[in-house]
Every structure is written in structure tokens, then in C-alpha cells.
Structure 1
């Protein structure tokens, strides 16, 4: 993270986009499904950072408890901080369908159906993640034009 922030500070005039993964936390009977959503989004976020290095800054994950009161307001504060720091485009990536109804901010919410990664070998995981990112490229380029 230090390396990425250092690069961001040096190239801030060219990096106008922030990506924030939204990672749900849950310790109930659905914890395994929730963890799977988060794992998938983290893989996708890492690939986005790899493909768009120098154009985007991947921030640490925004973690929240499933059903957390105030999660939307807290996320809005993150978005406001990003915009105050100069980000023109703020993307949130999630597999939690709840955000489709809850989020009403100015950023772009990208929802992806979760793909359980636990039974994939490394090669299959990379292919699924690359395919997912390919589907998001249009959203990024649309925002930049």
C-alpha cells in the first residue's frame, strides 16, 4: 500500500479515479457465503489495480457489518474525502445486492454477482477474475469520456 500511495502522490495529476471494494462482514449462519462475496471482490479489485496502475488508486476495502446501521453514511464520508482529495471518479465494487438499493451517492456502484472461488485452481480463478474485469472496463472508460 505504501508503494501505491507513493506512486499516487507522484502522479496525482494523472490519477483521477479511486476504486473502493465493499466487503461485508457477517458471523451468522450466512458467514461463509458473505466471506465468499468478499473474497471474490478482493480478487477482482486486485486485478483492476494491476490493469489500470497509474490511472486508478485502489483504496483499502470498506468493511461493514451486514445490516449495520450507518454504513451508507460512513461510505458517503469516504466518498466525500476522496472527492476533496481530488478524485473525479469514485467507483465502489461489491457483490452485496443490498448496496444497489442503499447507495445513493455520486460515485459509481459496480455490482458483480459473486463467484465462489474456493474450489477453483489458480488458473481458473485468474480466468474468472480477468473475465469479470473485462466486463467492467466499459464502465471505467464511459466515466472517463
Structure 2
């Protein structure tokens, strides 16, 4: 499910099934790092969309959280985690390419910032599938643990 009015309404009435929130977490940059951050965003968005597509009856895809420094990003993520959990989501998983988040206690999976647009369609599709499989495996492990 996606964060739109129809799916949001549906997720509220089916919360016992839609218990997982997937949250893309993307750093913004406006200098020479902008291209690398944009590449990271492309991978994160593609993986998040593929994960939602494969698990649409169980997950809600949150709009992207954007931040300009890791401390602000961690505070934003912690707030989203707290609010989502309080509202009934049993599981929250962030997807990021920023390994600095390892210093924070967040449920997060990392994907590398790859230049998908520089790859062939088949290569980029395979990469996204592989990363989505990692996310799905992580979510499955969390579901099994509860």
C-alpha cells in the first residue's frame, strides 16, 4: 500500500494485516555531493517501491523522509518510528544509503548509492530486485520474531 487517500483508509481498516511501515530515508545535498545523493535516492526509491509492490497487503510505503544532516535525520526518523508505533504499526523499517545511521538505534537497512541510470535496464532491474529481496528477508525475520 502507498501513502495515498485510498490506501491510507484501507490500511486503517485492515491494520491487523497492514502492520509494517517502510520508510525511505534520503540525505539532501546542494553542492558537489548532490549527484551521489541523487543516485542514492534513485536506488532507495526503486527498492522501496519494489518492496511495497511485493508486500502490498502487509506494508505501507511512507513518503520519503529527507534530511540535510545525519543528526537531524536521526531525530526525524526516531519521531516517525515513535508515532508510527504508537498508531499501531508493529514494524517500521527505514531504507537508506547513509551508513552513518549505524551509530543510531534505528531499524534500518542499507542499500548502496548506485548510478542505476548508467546501467542497462536489465542490470538495474536485477540490482533493485536483489536489494528488495534483502529488505523482504529482513522484514520476514522481524515478522517471524514477533
Q: TM-score, normalised by structure 1?
A: 0.89
The answer as to 2:61 corresponding to 1:62 is: no
Rounded Cα–Cα distance in structure 1 between residues aligned with 2:92 and 2:70: 22
Between 1:38-47 and 1:108-117, the stretch displaced more is 108-117
The within-5 A match list for 1:59-98 is 59-65=62-68, 67=69, 69-98=71-100
Q: Give SS of 1:70's match.
A: helix
1:60 Cα deviation from its structure 2 partner: 0.5
Q: Once the two structures are superposed, what CA deviation does each residue of 1:14-36 show, in whole Å capped at 9, x if it has no partner?
A: 11111101011000111101110
Between 1:111-120 and 1:91-100, the stretch displaced more is 111-120
1:74 Cα deviation from its structure 2 partner: 2.0
Between 1:87-96 and 1:125-134, the stretch displaced more is 125-134
Aligned length: 141
Root mean square deviation, CA, Å? 1.5
Rounded Cα–Cα distance in structure 2 between residues aligned with 1:68 and 1:140: 24
Rounded Cα–Cα distance in structure 2 between residues aligned with 1:28 and 1:52: 36
Rounded Cα–Cα distance in structure 1 between residues aligned with 2:91 and 2:142: 7
Q: Structure 1 runs of 4+ off > 6 angstroms?
A: none
Unpaired segments ≥5 residues, structure 2: none
Decide which of 92, 99, 102 is 1:100's aligned counterpart. Answer: 102
The answer as to 2:139 corresponding to 1:137 is: no
1:122 Cα deviation from its structure 2 partner: 3.0
Rounded Cα–Cα distance in structure 2 between residues aligned with 1:136 and 1:71: 20
In structure 1, the residue matched to 2:10 is: 7
Q: Give SS of 1:118's match.
A: helix
Q: TM-score, normalised by structure 2?
A: 0.88
Name the structure where helix makes up a greater proportion of residues.
2
Check 1:10–1:121 CA distance in 2 against 1; reply closer, same or farther (3 A cut). Answer: farther
Check 1:27–1:137 CA distance in 2 against 1; reply closer, same or farther (3 A cut). Answer: same
1:84 Cα deviation from its structure 2 partner: 0.9
CA contact (8 A) 1:15 1:54 kept: yes
